[in-house]
């Protein structure tokens, strides 16, 4: 008989029902096993968890506020609305929660170089930030199209000492940035950690990123129980790959009374080809290391997708979301560009908060949902990021040019 | 150590022929680049010039294991309207004229999206002997291998310089031939290959009778001769695809010359290479 490695059963770690897995070139498999083992060890090591907690508190400004959006609540006339203010974290989004975890792990594994993909630039900025803090080398892959949409974040990354590679292959957006980051990783797996920015990719990433983001849901749950004595009736979050949503949902999955609502980017409409609403328009497939849902044609070619939001402009979704959708535990709603831009402006004028266009997708869904609920019910929106980076693009969308000349 | 209880008939049995007269020369091209008709003719030319086995790439929108040369070929092919069906139809036209082993190289979503049962049924009908799926590593092969094998198609495995302790397990269950990735990184021409392949090949040969062919980065006759002296086969992809990119539909002559020079480099005594294995 020959030596044999265990073949993964459907219930293996890294599987969510049939979704997840490790569909990645052989060159990376040893490293993925090493990463999964290192992550498991680190979780059990107080030296690691204490250091992560210290950085989240002292550097990233956690816990983030749970803000009662009273004017929005009064205006919509239904459920009491709370905003989980991940936009107030250092670097302006939830991304830093995950990057701190992965970068600490990379350091523990002896890596000296961090690479990352980025869509809106928030994950790239968070990775560049922590690389600076830890004295590590940092290279970020970003679709050329997104470097134009999010020029401000490109310069932020450069200020932080990172090198940004505009990716000119394919649709020149997030999907292509991930392709290039994987190609980099497969070439320099020895000294390089690939800091994936969402609950996607091969195992252990979807689990690890969810765990690092779970602090969003854990804080929300504890804080709301303390303030209201009850769990929320619904939690809402935008979903591209789905990390802020997964972090929020994770704390509430066993609480069956809590509706979990993911808001997908419908672009110009889920019934048009210019959409990124994966669960609404895609089907099961295997790409970027995972089995999940993907926007694709009849031959399994990954479809070009579109959203005004660079952070949600992705043809797939994390595998745990695919499973939550299929089992019905979570619901996923498409939100169009128009609805998201309206919500972006609405939140600014109603609450004085300029949120990321990504997060505005969840705000838009809250505007639809809250009036259908009663005043004794509560709804929490994860405000995953701040919107400074989007101001110029929203102005353009409204026909205003903010350029200096 | 080799598992001798393989199901009958052995999947991809024809693949062994590529290795039965010395070091094999294995050529890759992206089907449908620049057109599917050109690919059909190029495959006939390559076989005629001495290729022992052809890897036919079914293009994928996002080939993450490929360098720029094959990425661009996939893009050109898809833009020319190539689909899994047009590639399979091309193989069906070729198959009556050749007994040479032909394998597909594609990404898992192409087979998965087509439906594994339907995909491998069509492979069997058209006489495809094996398939290489770079994003389907050992741990994930169990969902595709039984279906491929039931249709007589070998699911080929890859090992890499980083495989280490995985090497014996992967080689032990390999079928068809074992694809040894020469270097870290993606496909593409490299000036030098620095990996010490000898220990990898020794381990492989200790575990399995299945031949081991080395690919990634090989382009020159000198590299082919050197790798060919250690391995059972030499795989060349990007260098061939680059010739097709340069010459488009007129690549027949350059391909014939190139394949001839590579076959001569790895099998200097085999003067009539290929000519008796491929009818008109």
Rounded Cα gap, residues A276 and A272, in angstroms:
10
With pLDDT > 70 as the criterion, what percentage of chain A qualifies? 96
Q: Does the CB of B36 have a partner CB in chain A at under 8 Å? A: no
pLDDT in tens, B221-265: 999 999 999 999 999 999 999 999 999 999 999 999 999 999 999
Residue contact B112–A187, C-beta within 8 A:
no
Q: Does the CB of B4 have a partner CB in chain A at under 8 Å? A: no
Whether B60 is covered by a domain: the verdict is: yes
Q: Which of A6-20, A134-148, A227-241 has the lowest mean pLDDT?
A: A6-20
Domain assignment of residue B130, given as a range: 22-155+219-266
pLDDT bin (cut points 50, 70, 90) of residue A13 is confident
CA within 13 Å, CB half, A37: 7
The whole-model pTM stands at 0.94
Average pLDDT over residues A253-271: 97
Known catalytic residue at A175: no
From the list A95, A111, A175, A389, the catalytic residue is A95
Residue A25 CB neighbour total at 10 angstroms: 23
Whether B83 is covered by a domain: the verdict is: yes
* A148 vs A368, higher pLDDT: A368
Whether B101 is covered by a domain: the verdict is: yes
Q: What are phi and psi of B151, to 5 degrees?
A: -105, 15
pLDDT bin (cut points 50, 70, 90) of residue B195 is confident
Res B270: pLDDT: 56
Name the minimum distance, in Å, from the CA of A1 to any CA of chain B: 6
- Structure token digits, residue A133: 């803090």
Res B9: pLDDT: 67
Res B220: pLDDT: 96
Q: Does the CB of B83 have a partner CB in chain A at under 8 Å? A: yes
3 state DSSP class of A327: helix
DSSP letter at A62 equals P
CB pairs under 8 A between A and B: 141
Question: The domain that contains B54 carries what CATH number?
Answer: 3.20.20.70
Q: Kindly report the average pLDDT of chain A as a whole number.
A: 95
Residue A25 in this model has a pLDDT that exceeds 80: yes
Rounded Cα gap, residues B10 and B154, in angstroms:
8
Q: Which chain B residues have a beta carbon less than 8 Å from that of A299?
A: 83-85, 110, 113-114
Whether B58 is covered by a domain: the verdict is: yes
Task: Give the A-side interface with B, CB within 8 Å.
Answer: 1-8, 21-31, 169-170, 175-176, 179, 182-183, 186-189, 284-289, 294, 296, 298-302
pLDDT in tens, A348-381: 999 999 999 999 999 999 999 999 999 999 999 9
Q: Which chain B residues have a beta carbon less than 8 Å from that of A289?
A: 135
CA dihedral B181→A318→B69→B252, nearest 10 degrees, is: 90
pLDDT bin (cut points 50, 70, 90) of residue A401 is confident
Structural contact between residues A204 and A279, judged by C-beta atoms closer than 8 angstroms? no
- Structure token digits, residue A94: 């939830």
In this complex, the residue of B157, B169, B184 whose CB is nearest that of residue A186 is B184
Q: Which chain A residues have a beta carbon less than 8 Å from that of B166?
A: 5, 26, 29-30
Q: Which of A84-98, A124-138, A322-336, B4-18 has the lowest mean pLDDT?
A: B4-18
Residue contact B173–A7, C-beta within 8 A:
no
Residue A230 in this model has a pLDDT that exceeds 50: yes
List the 228-267 stretch of B: residues with Cβ below 8 A of A. none
Residue A10 in this model has a pLDDT that exceeds 60: no
Residue B4 in this model has a pLDDT that exceeds 70: no
Residue A233 in this model has a pLDDT that exceeds 60: yes
Q: Which chain B residues have a beta carbon less than 8 Å from that of A24?
A: 135, 137
Res B38: pLDDT: 98
In this complex, the residue of A28, A286, A296 whose CB is nearest that of residue B108 is A286
List the 134-173 stretch of B: residues with Cβ below 8 A of A. 134-142, 157-166, 168-170, 172-173
Known catalytic residue at A291: no
Whether B205 is covered by a domain: the verdict is: no
Known catalytic residue at A41: no
- Structure token digits, residue A230: 């009850």
Residue B71 in this model has a pLDDT that exceeds 60: yes
DSSP letter at A354 equals -
Q: Which of A87-91, A259-263, A394-398, B267-271 has the lowest mean pLDDT?
A: B267-271
Q: Report the residue of A13, A27, A171, A285 to disrupt the B interface, i.e. the one with the largest count of B CBs within 10 Å.
A: A27
Residue contact B185–A187, C-beta within 8 A:
yes
Residue contact A299–B113, C-beta within 8 A:
yes
Q: Which of B77, B149, B127 is nearest to B106 (CA)?
A: B77
Structural contact between residues B178 and B211, judged by C-beta atoms closer than 8 angstroms? yes
Residue A41 in this model has a pLDDT that exceeds 70: yes
Q: Does the CB of B194 have a partner CB in chain A at under 8 Å? A: no
In this complex, the residue of B162, B173, B186 whose CB is nearest that of residue A2 is B173
CA distance readout (Å), A196 to A123, A168, A232, A389? 9, 20, 30, 21
Whether B189 is covered by a domain: the verdict is: no
pLDDT bin (cut points 50, 70, 90) of residue B10 is confident
Name the minimum distance, in Å, from the CA of B250 to any CA of chain A: 26
Res A35: pLDDT: 97
pLDDT bin (cut points 50, 70, 90) of residue A8 is very low
Residue A28 in this model has a pLDDT that exceeds 60: yes
Residue contact A285–B162, C-beta within 8 A:
no
Residue A7 in this model has a pLDDT that exceeds 50: no
Name the minimum distance, in Å, from the CA of A201 to any CA of chain B: 12
Whether B223 is covered by a domain: the verdict is: yes
Res B268: pLDDT: 81
pLDDT in tens, A162-199: 999 999 988 898 999 999 999 999 999 999 999 999 99
Rounded Cα gap, residues A298 and B106, in angstroms:
16
Whether B99 is covered by a domain: the verdict is: yes
Residue B159 in this model has a pLDDT that exceeds 70: yes
Structural contact between residues B80 and B34, judged by C-beta atoms closer than 8 angstroms? yes
pLDDT bin (cut points 50, 70, 90) of residue A303 is very high
Query: What's the total number of domains in chain B?
Result: 1
């Amino acid at each position: 008989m020959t030596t044999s490695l265990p073949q993964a059963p459907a219930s293996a770690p890294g599987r969510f029902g049939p979704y997840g897995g490790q569909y990645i070139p052989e060159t990376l498999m040893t490293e993925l096993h090493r990463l999964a083992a290192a992550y498991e060890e680190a979780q059990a090591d107080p030296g690691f968890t204490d250091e992560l907690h210290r950085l989240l508190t002292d550097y990233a400004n956690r816990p983030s506020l749970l803000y009662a959006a009273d004017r929005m609540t009064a205006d919509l006339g239904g459920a009491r609305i709370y905003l989980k203010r991940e936009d107030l974290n250092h670097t302006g989004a939830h991304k830093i929660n995950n990057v701190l975890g992965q970068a600490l792990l990379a350091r523990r594994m002896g890596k000296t170089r961090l690479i990352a993909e980025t869509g809106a630039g928030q994950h790239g900025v968070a990775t560049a930030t922590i690389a600076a803090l830890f004295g590590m080398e940092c290279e970020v892959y970003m679709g050329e199209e997104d470097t134009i949409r999010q020029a401000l974040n490109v310069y932020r990354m450069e200020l932080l000492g990172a090198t940004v590679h505009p990716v000119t292959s394919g649709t020149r957006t997030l999907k292509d940035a991930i392709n290039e980051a994987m190609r980099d990783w497969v070439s320099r797996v020895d000294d390089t950690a690939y800091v994936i920015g969402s609950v996607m990719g091969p195992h252990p990433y979807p689990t690890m990123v969810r765990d690092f983001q779970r602090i969003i849901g854990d804080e929300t749950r504890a804080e709301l129980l303390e303030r209201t004595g009850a769990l929320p009736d619904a939690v809402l979050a935008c979903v591209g790959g789905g990390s802020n949503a997964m972090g929020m949902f994770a704390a509430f999955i066993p609480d069956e009374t809590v509706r979990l609502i993911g808001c997908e980017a419908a672009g110009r409409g889920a019934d048009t080809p210019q959409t990124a609403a994966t669960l609404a328009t895609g089907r099961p497939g295997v790409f970027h290391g995972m089995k999940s849902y993907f926007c694709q044609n009849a031959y399994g070619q990954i479809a070009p997708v579109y959203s005004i939001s660079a952070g949600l402009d992705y043809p797939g979704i994390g595998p745990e979301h695919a499973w939550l959708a299929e089992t019905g535990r979570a619901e996923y709603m498409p939100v169009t560009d128009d609805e998201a831009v309206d919500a972006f402006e609405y939140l600014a004028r109603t609450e004085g908060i300029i949120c990321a266009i990504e997060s505005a997708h969840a705000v838009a869904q809250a505007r639809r949902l809250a009036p259908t609920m009663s005043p004794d019910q509560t709804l929490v929106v994860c405000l995953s990021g701040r919107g400074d980076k989007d101001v110029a693009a929203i102005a353009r969308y409204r026909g205003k040019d903010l350029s200096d000349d | 150590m080799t598992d001798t209880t393989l199901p009958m008939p052995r999947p991809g049995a024809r693949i062994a022929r590529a290795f039965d007269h010395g070091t094999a020369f294995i050529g890759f091209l992206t089907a449908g680049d620049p057109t599917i008709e050109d690919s059909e003719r190029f495959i006939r030319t390559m076989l005629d010039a001495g290729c022992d086995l052809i890897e036919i790439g079914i293009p994928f929108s996002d080939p993450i294991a490929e360098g720029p040369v094959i990425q661009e070929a996939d893009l050109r092919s898809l833009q020319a309207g190539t689909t899994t069906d047009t590639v399979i139809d091309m193989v069906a036209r070729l198959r009556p004229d050749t007994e040479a082993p032909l394998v597909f190289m594609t990404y898992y979503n192409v087979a998965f999206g087509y439906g594994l049962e339907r995909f491998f049924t069509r492979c069997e009908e058209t006489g495809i002997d094996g398939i290489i799926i770079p994003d389907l590593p050992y741990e994930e092969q169990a969902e595709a291998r039984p279906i491929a094998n039931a249709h007589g198609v070998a699911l080929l495995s890859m090992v890499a310089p980083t495989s280490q302790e995985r090497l014996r397990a992967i080689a032990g269950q390999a079928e068809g031939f074992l694809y040894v990735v020469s270097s870290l990184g993606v496909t593409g021409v490299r000036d030098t290959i620095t990996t010490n392949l000898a220990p990898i090949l020794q381990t492989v040969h200790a575990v399995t009778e299945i031949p081991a062919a080395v690919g990634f980065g090989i382009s020159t006759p000198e590299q082919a001769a050197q790798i060919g002296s250690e391995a059972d086969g030499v795989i060349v992809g990007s260098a061939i695809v680059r010739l097709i990119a340069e010459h488009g539909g007129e690549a027949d002559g350059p391909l014939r010359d190139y394949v001839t020079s590579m076959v001569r480099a790895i099998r200097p005594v085999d003067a009539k290479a290929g000519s008796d294995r491929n009818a008109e």
